[in-house]
Structure 1
Amino acid sequence: MDFIYKKVTLDYSPVFSILIPSWNNLDYLKCVVNSIRKNSYYKHQIIVHINEGNDGSEEWVLAQEDIGYTKSSQNSGVCYGFNAASHLAVAEYLVFIDDDMYLCPDWDFFLFEEIANQKDDKWCISGTMIEGFDKGNVCVIADKNYGNHPSEFDEDKFLAEYATYPKEDWNGSQWYPMVLPTFVYRAVGGLSIEFFPGMYSDPDFMIKLWHYGIRYYKGIGKSRVYHFASRSTGRVKRNDGRTEFILKWGLSSNTFFKNYLKIGPKFLGVLPNPEENFMLKLKKKIDRWKVKFKTKPIDIS
């Protein structure tokens, strides 16, 4: 797999370096980049990782004077994608977003406002997604459909309504857009490439941050994005991330989210280490048993 890159020299100091992996999703990529240009309060560095790029993505990015990029000749997944793009980052803070998002006005202002209030230099902060469906994710403003593709996106109606939906700051940041200090990302080694093409790489990254000492995981209710949910994962052979996570960490991602990150409710503040009581130890043992006694599917091909 070949990797190439293009650096862009900026005549300003960006507040964020925004990383966007994209796999033959040009319509969505144009939409998210345009929303960054249109709706950001501050100036940022935009870096795209192009997977394959056989839909014209590379040609389009090359024509943009303000976008740097890395490229892999084949689909390298989100782990390689974010990691490769991060090497071109020059800002103090990294922002991770998917290419199928539309960033709302002042999305960055509210994130940076929270960053400015930090007393520690290790934290993880997210914006809040607005989605057109309800999958039971309490961190999301759900069932607000403004279109499934940029060509049908009702931008005017969305901009008139997106800020009217109530949403408190929430606990357990792990959804995009996500911002954290650049040095933290590099200190933990970025996303783990053993989770290629990417299933469960986000929970893995969160537990790596936990082991690095981060205890401040906050979702900002006022920082909002519309998430088209373009289903790129349907085009790849999915890795068994759930099993890989348990084998690596000795517990399931569900156990980690519920007992460590406490993801979902109103923001709880700095998180304590969970009490290693009987129930938590039993839950971890059950997680490991499920992997140990997992029945392998029979290959009848």
Structure 2
Amino acid sequence: MAVNIEKHKGNTHPEAVFSIMIPSWNNLAYLQLCINSIRKHSAFQHEIIVHINEGKDGSLDWVKAQPDISYSYSSENVGVCYALNSCRTLAQTDYLLYINDDMYVCPDWDTPLLKEIQAIGHKYFFLSSTAIEIKAQSSCSIEKNFGTSIDSFQEEKLLQQFSAIPFQDWQGATWPPNVVHKDIWDLAGGYSIEFSPGMYSDPDFSMKLWQLGVRLFKGIEKSRVYHFGSISVKRVKRNKGYYTFIAKWGITSGTLSKYYLRRGEKFDGPLVQKQIPATVQLKNLFKRCWNALVQHH
């Protein structure tokens, strides 16, 4: 399959802070909800960039009618990695923020992220917002049900309660919404297309940042979004990203999460790599060798 992508530049506000990159695949209702929440609940102006995969549901026509949205478009579903890399070429701000189209940003979500960036004072960081999810994917998320779909979405209840749910800043920023400086994105080479359509591209990107010397992987608890839960992922044919990650890095993504990023632990400063137990090293070696043997045959 040849990857053919069209691009269109929208009207970017001169004071835009983040370039918000949103991959979308025939998911118009959620995309509209996501973008409307950004327009309604952001404290600052931002640049919105959408990649439309297929767009058979009217999503392409809808973004074309939005003068403030830049977009790229592929007639086939090229996945998350190509989509994000395409969005990057349209971005004009210093900070690239990746968010899924099935997320709804809560009021003032962007202020804690910008304050954190300003306090850091350098480019070598990776920050995530904190997701409120129907079923928490990990200890990085808040588990609270405000609706399993748009039809059952309890928007007013979420707006009344989201800020009162206790949580804390956490280690191990990986999943979206996440934000990185454009120079660090470019040094890392964006999202790796060998993980297309996208499974395990998130930990791979974090590992690439680690290799660059990034040690500040911080989840910001006051920046909150509601996540309906992998609406597009449920429809796509998944790549074998687990094994691609092992072949590429020599460890499992779980080893990265636990011993490098300490994902979900209380934030206590820049990371220092933990000593990986010998048993875990042996398991990684076994999985690496087994994966190589399977691939060879």
Shorter-chain-normalised TM-score: which range?
over 0.9
- Mapped partners of 1:187, 1:295: distance in 2: 30
Structure 2 counterpart of 1:133, one-letter code:
K
Structure 1 counterpart of 2:142, one-letter code:
I
1:96 and 1:11, CA in 2 relative to 1: closer, same or farther beyond 3 A?
closer
Structure 2 counterpart of 1:261, one-letter code:
L
Query: CA offset at residue 28 of structure 1?
Result: 0.2
- Hey, what does 2:284 align to over in structure 1? 284
- Hey, what does 1:239 align to over in structure 2? 239
Structure 2: state its 5+ residue gaps. none
Structure 1 counterpart of 2:29, one-letter code:
D
1:279 and 1:95, CA in 2 relative to 1: closer, same or farther beyond 3 A?
same
- Mapped partners of 2:15, 2:89: distance in 1: 17
Query: CA offset at residue 147 of structure 1?
Result: 1.3
Deviations 1:172-218 (A, max 9, x none): 10121101101111111100001111111111111001001100000
- Mapped partners of 2:284, 2:150: distance in 1: 43
- Hey, what does 1:132 align to over in structure 2? 134
- Hey, what does 1:84 align to over in structure 2? 86
1:99 aligns with 2:101: yes
- Hey, what does 2:151 align to over in structure 1? 151
Q: Using structure 2 for the length normalisation, give the TM-score.
A: 0.95
- Hey, what does 2:59 align to over in structure 1? 57
Q: Secondary structure of 1:20's match?
A: strand
1:115 aligns with 2:117: yes
1:273 aligns with 2:266: no
Percent identity, aligned pairs only? 47
Query: CA offset at residue 9 of structure 1?
Result: 3.0
- Hey, what does 2:186 align to over in structure 1? 186
Aligned alpha-carbon RMSD (Å):
1.8
Query: CA offset at residue 164 of structure 1?
Result: 1.0
Please tell me whether the aligned partners of residues 85 and 190 of structure 2 are also in contact (alpha carbons under 8 angstroms). yes
Query: CA offset at residue 270 of structure 1?
Result: 0.8
1:117 and 1:289, CA in 2 relative to 1: closer, same or farther beyond 3 A?
same
- Mapped partners of 2:12, 2:289: distance in 1: 52
Greater displacement, 282-291 / 215-224: 282-291
Deviations 1:105-140 (A, max 9, x none): 0110011111111043210000000011244x1000
Structure 1: state its 5+ residue gaps. none
Please tell me whether the aligned partners of residues 50 and 58 of structure 1 are also in contact (alpha carbons under 8 angstroms). yes
Structure 2 counterpart of 1:52, one-letter code:
E
Query: CA offset at residue 293 of structure 1?
Result: 5.6
- Mapped partners of 2:266, 2:288: distance in 1: 30
- Mapped partners of 1:28, 1:280: distance in 2: 40
Structure 1 counterpart of 2:112, one-letter code:
F
1:160 and 1:252, CA in 2 relative to 1: closer, same or farther beyond 3 A?
same
Of 20, 28, 31, 1:29 maps to 31
Matched residue count: 295
Structure 1 counterpart of 2:272, one-letter code:
P
- Hey, what does 1:38 align to over in structure 2? 40
Please tell me whether the aligned partners of residues 148 and 230 of structure 1 are also in contact (alpha carbons under 8 angstroms). no
Deviations 1:15-49 (A, max 9, x none): 00000000000000000000000000000000000
Deviations 1:57-100 (A, max 9, x none): 01100111110100111000000010001110001101000000
- Mapped partners of 1:61, 1:3: distance in 2: 15
- Mapped partners of 2:257, 2:36: distance in 1: 34
